[in-house]
Amino acid sequence: MKASVIYGLAALFGASHFIADCVEGHRETITPDYIVEHKCNMYRTGTTHERIVSAKDCAALCQAAGVEVGSYHPPSKKCIVSKPDGEDRTRADAMYT
């Protein structure tokens, strides 16, 4: 089983109400061997993809790219697939999904 982290971005894209949806430590199964863990107030830099429907779709995109960390922002439907040397950053309203 591989555990990964997907970050959701609220402050980065201006959705301050979004942080209420963050549940620190929540684990979600994407596939039987790929599980993501949600964390609040963080994201990792990387390549942005637009029009991604859900955090689960973002996680699948990250899995296909072979990365363990990604970021998702539901209101803007943006997914950031982390770079291997991506920098972890904090944001007051960000969600690590």
List the domain boundaries for the chain. 2-96
Strand ranges in the chain using DSSP code E only, listed in sequence order: 2-8, 27-31, 34-37, 39-44, 46-49, 69-73, 78-82, 88-96
Confidence of residue 96 (pLDDT cuts 50, 70, 90): low
Over the stretch 37-55, which tens digit does the pLDDT of each residue have?
A: 887 778 889 999 999 988 8
Residue 95: pLDDT above 70?
A: no
